[in-house]
Amino acid sequence: MNLDNSISVETKLFGFIAENAHSNRFSVSVNKLFKANNVNAMVIPMNIRPDDLVFTISQMRYSKLNGAMIASEYQEEVLALLDEGNDAVKESGYCDFIRIANGKLLGELITPRALEKFANTFENDIALNALTHYFYELITGENL
């Protein structure tokens, strides 16, 4: 995200898919980290109803998105829509992050790793802060 909050052709775009994405602080928190570190990326909250989930996820491979975080209410349902899932996804039966690469939907489970890495770092909002920081590092390749 640029300092003027604009999106350019080079901006990496990620969705946050939830039934009530706009009331969740995840996208705002990640976007603040991107902006503070001058990273040209943005997470867009996407309010998706349950009956629109299959269409939305299946069409993401054709979109300008680089991936999407998946809220807990949809983490089991998206499994059937993935082209591939990592070992954690296969073992747990959940997917909380979809990376889009070469038109394929690649499922990952990042929340447990986020909590493992950052659980002792924060006093408040541990899950939100851990996931926000881990997502930032995953996307940028930079350690916070």
pLDDT at 144: 73
Residue 4's pLDDT is: 65
**Quick one: pLDDT at residue 99?**
97
Look at residue 6 and give its three-state secondary structure.
coil
- What pLDDT shows up at residue 45? 97
pLDDT (0 to 100) of residue 76: 97
- Parts of the chain with a pLDDT under 50: 1
Q: How far apart are CA 54 and CA 39, in angstroms?
A: 31
Domain ranges of the chain: 12-71+109-140
Cβ neighbourhood burial of 117 (10 Å; 0-12, 13-18, 19+): middle
pLDDT value at position 3?
59
Per-residue pLDDT, 1: 46
Q: Which CATH number describes the domain made up of 12-71+109-140? A: 3.40.50.10860
**DSSP alpha helix (H) spans, the chain:** 26-36, 53-59, 87-92, 111-118, 126-140
103: enclosing H helix or E strand: none
